Structure 1
Amino acid sequence: MLTTKLILGASPITATTLPAFRSPLVRALAWSCFSETLINEITTATAVIHKPRITLTAQRLNWLNALDKDDIPLKTYMEEHCNSTRLGLVFESLWHFFLLEDPNTELIAHNIPVRDGKVTLGEFDLIYYCRISQRYIHLELAVKFFLGIPNKHAPLGLDQWYGPNRADRLDRKLARLTQHQLPLAHTNAGQAVIAQLGIDHVAQELQVNGILFHANTDNAPYPSLNIEHQRGDWLSLNAFQTAQEQESWRYIEKPSWLGAEYQTATPLENKHLQMAAHKPIMLINNKQQRRFLVADDWAD
């Protein structure tokens, strides 16, 4: 289940400890920018890349509370800059809004293509300026929800974490970040793009948000992960129905995964259980804990 932590000063938050914001967008914003990450650092061929030094200070909490009372600026920004319900694009746009609004940061550019002639090598998610450290920073962003399938015949590894559709895997995602996206800034083409922005040098950071849904028998530590990473669990449809817990859980539509809240979630009905027989669905209970409900043969 998800870990619990009080918000005191600069403490990170989790899905279970989000303040009771009325606005779903403000909840998603707070979770995206200030919640516990899946990893604290990652090692590339050239450096150790850390998560951003951005915390939920009292000043930022006051800003979120004020925005919750009047979320029109956030709604307007999202309507003008994000016409998609894809979680990754919504997550990035929420970060753009935060970096534009926060007095300690300045968003320089985002989704910056890196080309070698006519060939596109990739893109930088964003570059921002931190007024506290007085540094330009290349920040890569990712948001992922993975389910763990422990392998009794192999040592613990990030290759045992799968996306709900089984097409995505945590180790592959991190390998893409370490071997391609982050090193792009050190290529001649990447350096040329940075110079075109009038910047001599960028530091690098990585923000990987998400929730890992552990099998109910999995309590093992994963050294590569943030020990405080946000946790949920997953159950097969048959185990869920046998436990007769249906009334304790509600259904979350995918666009709401970032800032889900029990009171506004959809009461669980038989049609949702039928959906789970074909593809995993996410649930939430009144403790704000998350669960994936999967077909009985999903983990086979």
Structure 2
Amino acid sequence: MSNEQRIHSILSAVSLDSTITSYPTFDLQDLNTVVDLDFDLPTNLRLGHLVEKIVSKLIRTSSNYEMIYENIQIKKDEKTIGEIDFIIEQTFSKRHIHLELAYKFYLLDPSISKTLIKNWIGPNRNDSLFEKLEKLKNKQFPLLHNAVTAETLKNLKIELIEQQLCLLASLYIPYDYKTKLPPEYQKAVKGHYMNFETFVNQNSAEYEYYLPFKKEWGIDPVSNKTWCDLESTLEQLKTNLEEKQAPLCWQKKGDEYVQFFIVWW
């Protein structure tokens, strides 16, 4: 994984819009950045924190936004009650924006609910899109208007700060799923998911595979140079699934690439 590939993957990721999130969308495509972006990235960060560092750098190097605050710890009686991701300023209008950022991978499980937004879950079923939006609504965005925050950001007029969300999402649907999704979801669909048995039945020696590390999730499989055969991939998959870890799999056949999760549930 090169820094350039990782940076490009963030810039090209789909932001879920306000029809889903109910919050104004901050689109990274609106940043006026240099054409060929390549800068050093930390190697010791988890994916979510790595994405924060990339977006911070993109904002700082853009010509139309300035970083005012980043990762602001809000404390009361020496206890942290929350964190604000970014306060940025639009250069032309001088508007201040409280920006919350998230980088998520969700799988559609239609059996959960009749309500579509409640059916998007993490690959290991330990988080969901609905829960994330509820946390933003009840905790992360209201934090700006906490009295302690006003004291921390006393050089700013809190009441004039806008709030926007950059929720970068990669969505995956069940294998052979036939129902048409609304366009606001469909544009974020990157692939599908299946269980181990389906994977074995649908794949053969003519394909090549790679199970990316989590830090590589979201990168275009076309850029990958290392591929494995089916037999060695099956062995690695068995280990992942026994540990109740649903891996992402990249598949290659000639010049055709697909990606999918293989779930243990």
TM-score tier by shorter-chain length is 0.7 to 0.9
Q: Which runs of 5+ in 1 are unaligned?
A: 1-22
Give the drift of 1:33.
3.1
What residue in structure 2 maps to residue 112 of structure 1?
72
| 1:51 paired to 2:25 | yes
Question: Which of 262, 265, 283 is the equivalent residue of 2:249?
Answer: 283
1:104-150 Cα offsets, whole Å, 9 max, x none, are 11111211011233332201011111113421111000011112221
Task: Give the TM-score taking structure 2 as reference length.
Answer: 0.83
Match of 1:103, SS state, is coil
Gaps in structure 2 of 5+ consecutive residues = none
Match of 2:263? 294
Q: Distance in 1 between matches of 2:249 and 2:61?
A: 32
Aligned to 1:271: 235
What residue in structure 1 maps to residue 165 of structure 2?
206
Match of 1:195 among 124, 131, 154: 154
Equivalent position SS for 1:191: helix
Please list the CA deviations of residues 197-222 of structure 1 after superposition, one character each: whole Å capped at 9, or x if unmatched: 57773111101112111112434456
Tell me the distance in 1 between the aligned counterparts of 2:258 and 2:161: 38
Question: 1:254 Cα deviation (Å)?
Answer: 1.1
Number of the residue aligned with 2:10: 32
Is the 1:26–1:64 Cα contact (8 Å) retained in structure 2?
Answer: no
Contact map agreement 1:106 1:130 (CA 8 A) in 2: yes
Match of 2:51 in 1: 91
Q: Is the 8 A contact 1:110 1:127 kept in 2?
A: yes
Identity of aligned residues (%): 24
**SS where residue 49 of structure 1 aligns?**
coil
For 2:137, give the aligned amino acid: T
Change (3 A) 1:54 1:85: closer
Counterpart Cα distance in 1 of 2:117 and 2:159: 36
Query: In structure 2, which of residues 79, 90, 95 is the aligned counterpart of residue 135 of structure 1?
Result: 95
Q: Which amino acid in the other structure matches residue 25 of structure 1?
A: N
- Structure-2 separation of matches of 1:223 and 1:42: 10
Q: Tell me if structure 2 keeps the 8 A contact 1:41–1:206.
A: no
For residues 174 and 215 of structure 1, the distance between their equivalents in structure 2, rounded to whole angstroms, comes to 23
Q: Provide the residue aligned with 1:5 in structure 2.
A: none
In structure 2, do the counterparts of structure 1 residues 203 and 117 end up closer, same or farther at CA, with 3 Å as the change threshold?
A: same
CA distance in 1, matches of 2:101, 2:225: 27
Structure 1 residue 226 displacement after superposition: 4.1
Q: TM-score, normalised by structure 1?
A: 0.74
Give RMSD over aligned pairs: 2.7
SS at the partner of 1:50?
Answer: coil
Pair 127,217 (structure 1): closer, same or farther in 2 beyond 3 Å: same
